[in-house]
Amino acid sequence: MEEFVACTNANIALIKYWGKRDEFLMLPTKTSLSVGLDALKTTTKVQFSDFDKIFINEQEVQGEAQIKVLKFLHVFRKKFKIDKFFLVDSVNNFPTASGLASSASGLAALAKGLNELCSLNLDFKELSILARRGSGSAARSIWGGFVLWHKGVSLDGSDSFAEQIFKSVHWPEFKIIVVVVQESKKIISSTQAMQITVKTCKIYNDWVRNSERRIRQMIDAIVDKNLEKVGELAQLDCLDMHETMRTSTPAINYWTDKTIKIIELVNKLRAGGIQCYFTIDAGPNVKILTLEKHQDQILSELKNIEDIKTIVSGVSGD
């Protein structure tokens, strides 16, 4: 039986995506900018089957994750007029669905795998548009390196795709320490949380405006390999995004006491002269942005905090 294996990396946004302007086409309210993580990988095998069957980490999936993938397969069949069912077997080398961007790398790998299996010859722009229909941030995981996802303006979503702006070789010293404080599923899916925020948060439009403005500044900071600037912008954008969640009705909070502990440690280390900054997505885990030369010292400080795991990552290639 013919099968294809695709491999992609997770990404974390330095300037975030939070909220859709079109739920069906998965069109974002704003442009976002991310970095791919070479240590966080999804490997997905796809083959034709009598009916759709989805395995994640060797377990047949049910519930929300299953619905997400089934919906995507439905969109895929319709878009490319393919009358086939698929067996999808996806393995993450990192915790799934706890805000570590597993849906980004998962749906991007699936899009790449289906492209091969069905011999569609889609280019990276088309793959990004396809992956976006599975999970917004998946549009960015088609690429490695530093990636920009254009929000686009067209109603059909044809200009809402991601593209690479810098390869990993541009900044090999840039490191991300992923601090896993909790491996369980998120308290609320990002899809639902975004809907609540867009609908009810009174400061949401301010964040969108400010965050859009930070894109240009972030690109300049990456050009200059200026960690201080990159870190400050990323931290600010993350804090503002979480503030939109907290001021929604009902209020949404992904952080735990451990999240705050890690934030305090990062702030303390930075005050002591170690260049490090944090960013947090839809979950309690923290990603520390730093440079290779500070990595060991940060890891040794993190050893004093109980029950956490750390994954050190560079920028993903290609």
Binding site for ligand PMV (CB under 6 A): 13, 16-18, 32, 103-104, 135-137, 190-191, 281-282
CA distance 19 to 252: 14
Strand 59-60 to strand 146-149: parallel, antiparallel, or no bridges (unpaired)? unpaired
Rounded to the nearest whole angstrom, what is the least distance from the CB of residue 225 to ligand PMV in the complex?
Answer: 22
CA distance 316 to 169: 9
* Smaller CB separation from ligand PMV, 269 or 282: 282
Cβ-contact 252, 244 below 8 angstroms = no
Rounded to the nearest whole angstrom, what is the least distance from the CB of residue 66 to ligand PMV in the complex?
Answer: 16
Q: In this structure, what is the dihedral angle of CA atoms 284, 221, 148, 135, given to the nearest 10 degrees?
A: 0
* Smaller CB separation from ligand PMV, 216 or 293: 216
* Smaller CB separation from ligand PMV, 158 or 192: 192
* Smaller CB separation from ligand PMV, 269 or 280: 280
Distances in Å between the Cα of 80 and the Cα atoms of 69, 72, 118, 133, 292 are 16, 12, 9, 13, 44
Rounded to the nearest whole angstrom, what is the least distance from the CB of residue 128 to ligand PMV in the complex?
Answer: 13
Cβ-contact 20, 189 below 8 angstroms = no
* Smaller CB separation from ligand PMV, 37 or 118: 37
CA distance 174 to 34: 13
* Smaller CB separation from ligand PMV, 37 or 117: 37
Rounded to the nearest whole angstrom, what is the least distance from the CB of residue 274 to ligand PMV in the complex?
Answer: 26
* Smaller CB separation from ligand PMV, 36 or 136: 136
* Smaller CB separation from ligand PMV, 295 or 313: 313
Rounded to the nearest whole angstrom, what is the least distance from the CB of residue 118 to ligand PMV in the complex?
Answer: 24
Bin 123: left if φ > 0, else alpha if -120 < ψ < 50, else beta: beta
End-to-end Cα separation, the chain, in angstroms: 29
Rounded to the nearest whole angstrom, what is the least distance from the CB of residue 268 to ligand PMV in the complex?
Answer: 25
Rounded to the nearest whole angstrom, what is the least distance from the CB of residue 193 to ligand PMV in the complex?
Answer: 8
Rounded to the nearest whole angstrom, what is the least distance from the CB of residue 188 to ligand PMV in the complex?
Answer: 12
Strand 27-28 to strand 20-22: parallel, antiparallel, or no bridges (unpaired)? antiparallel
E strand intervals along 103-169: 146-149, 162-166
CA distance 235 to 14: 8
Rounded to the nearest angstrom, the gap between the alpha carbon of residue 68 and the centroid of all alpha carbons in its chain is: 16
